[in-house]
Amino acid sequence: MGYVKTIRKKIGNDPLFMPCVAAIIYKDKKILLQKRTDFKLWGLHGGSMELGETFLDTLTREVKEETNLTPIDISVFNVYAGKDFVLHYPNNDVSYLVIQSFIITEVKGDMKAQKSELSELKWFKLNEIPWDKLVPQDKKIIEDFLQTKN
C-alpha cells in the first residue's frame, strides 16, 4: 500500500499536501497524454511521491507504471502549488498539490497503457490538444510549456 493510501485511511477525505510529479512527454512536436479513469479527462503522466523517493525517482516510476516507457532525456521544467493546484477527486479526497514538472524528450520501451488508472494513451499534435477535456492543473502546466515553444 502506498503512502497516500496509508494516510487516507487515517484522515479520510480531509485535505492533504501531496508532493508529486508531472511529466510532459514531448517528441516530434507532439505531446503524449493519458485519459484518466478517475476524472475521465486527459492529463499528463505522473503521481505522488512515496516515502524515501526523490522527484526524479517518482518521475521514472510513474512514467514506467503508466506508459511502460522509461524516460531517457529529462529536464526540470517548473514547480506548481497554490490555490489553483487543489485537486478534488471524485471520491471526495482533497489534495493540495506541490508539483515538480519535467520535460521528457526521449523514452525507450514499448508504449502500453496501465489499465487501472488510465484508459488510453495518445500522441496529440500541439494544435489538437483537447483543451476542454484536460485536468485543470495539467492544462496550466501544458499552457506554460507551450509558451516556451513560441
Instruction: Tell me the DSSP string of 100-137.
Output: EEEEEEEEES-----TTTEEEEEEEEGGG--GGGB-HH
Q: Please say whether the beta carbons of 85 and 7 come within 8 A.
A: no
- Tens digit of pLDDT for each residue in 110-132? 999 998 889 999 999 999 999 99
Closest among 34, 12, 37, 35 to 95, alpha carbons compared: 12
CATH number for 3-147 (one of 3.40.47.10, 3.90.79.10, 3.30.420.40, 3.30.70.260): it is 3.90.79.10
Q: What is the DSSP letter of 50?
A: P
Q: Is 66 designated active site?
A: no
Between CA 97 and CA 88 the distance in angstroms is: 11
Q: What are the per-10-residue average pLDDT scores of the chain (150 residues)?
A: 91 96 97 96 97 98 97 98 95 96 98 92 97 97 92
Give the Cβ contact number of residue 69 at 10 Å.
21
Q: Which of 65, 106, 120, 143 is catalytic?
A: 120
For the chain, give every domain's residue range: 3-147
Q: Whole-prediction pTM value?
A: 0.94
Can you give the pLDDT at residue 41? 97
